[in-house]
Homo-oligomer: A and B are copies of this chain.
Amino acid sequence: MKILNSISAWQKWRNAIPPTQSVGLVPTMGALHAGHQSLIRRCRQENDICTISLFVNPTQFNDQEDLANYPNTFEADRKLCEDEGVDAIFFPDYNELYPDDYRYRVSESEVSRLLCGAHRPGHFDGVLSVVMKLLNLARPDRAYFGEKDWQQLQLVKGMVEAFFMPVTIVGCPTVRDTDQLALSSRNFRLSQVDRQKAAGFPRILSTQAPAEQVARLLEADGFAVDYVQDFKGRRCAAIHCGEVRLIDNLPLYEKGEHI
């Protein structure tokens, strides 16, 4: 398994792959968990070459404290990738990936303003910009994103269509803990008490009731609610549990009921 820190090393390695070989990319911010593992396995299964990027992208953090607190577990990440048969890890630093210091960006004017976008100004500009960079560098046939970040998944798919990028975006099911909490690198930051309490989030979110009522039930359970909103076939929500912001979404039935 190659670990490539520089753009030039990455490009040299990428250019040596013959066009007959298919390439998959799993873009991540590191702190890998079983959710990422499921993306890597699907990528490994569907492509000749399986690549992953580990990059905590500062331009998508509107909250500098959130960025500073983002977990860094490189050694464990490296081992997980090795065990899963990843061919190459791309692990650049900010200056490598942003030679322009973020003068250039990709933005979206409608969907990016809703849900998480309304609470995290500039967040999706950062996401779309870094994904564009990573896709152009890795030139994958397929790139893998978790459905947990439903709005992000829709926006990345939209960007790829709008700019005719030659890649298929593959959305993968959310992986959940035994108590149904969606796996997230941010769960590591929950206190034991808050971690137990957080199980109420997916439980209440699956209540078959209007979104406003679900929001009130979450508040009654002690969460600070950013939003509960139906969007493109899903009920999406963001809450604060202690110091940690958590998001989740569940599919809606046609009649507005949950699976």
Binding site for B on A (CB under 8 A): 7, 19, 98-100, 102-111, 128, 132-133, 136-137, 139, 158-159, 161-166
Contact B105 A107 (CB under 8 A): yes
| A166, B133: Cα distance in complex, Å | 11
Closest A-B pairs by Cβ, 6 of them: A100-B162, A104-B162, A136-B164, A137-B164, A104-B108, A103-B109
Name the one of B107, B133, B159, B162 contacting A164, with C-beta atoms under 8 angstroms.
Answer: B133
Name the one of B19, B99, B111, B164 contacting A103, with C-beta atoms under 8 angstroms.
Answer: B111
| A140, B184: Cα distance in complex, Å | 40
Contact B133 A163 (CB under 8 A): yes
Contact A99 B163 (CB under 8 A): no
Contact A158 B100 (CB under 8 A): yes
A7, A99, A103 pick with most chain B CB within 10 angstroms = A103
Q: How far is the CB of A110 from chain B (nearest CB, A)?
A: 5
A103, A109, A162 pick with most chain B CB within 10 angstroms = A162
| A173, B125: Cα distance in complex, Å | 35
| A137, B160: Cα distance in complex, Å | 12
Q: How far is the CB of A186 from chain B (nearest CB, A)?
A: 28
Contact A103 B136 (CB under 8 A): no
Contact B103 A108 (CB under 8 A): yes
Return the chain B residue nearest A138 by Cβ: B164
Contact B104 A107 (CB under 8 A): yes
What residues of B have a CB within 8 angstroms of the CB of A110 in the complex? 103
Q: How far is the CB of A97 from chain B (nearest CB, A)?
A: 9
| A64, B193: Cα distance in complex, Å | 60
Cβ contacts A to B, 23 pairs, < 8 Å: A7-B164, A19-B19, A99-B162, A100-B158, A100-B161, A100-B162, A103-B108, A103-B109, A103-B110, A103-B162, A104-B107, A104-B128, A104-B159, A104-B163, A105-B107, A106-B106, A132-B163, A133-B162, A133-B163, A133-B164, A136-B163, A136-B166, A137-B164
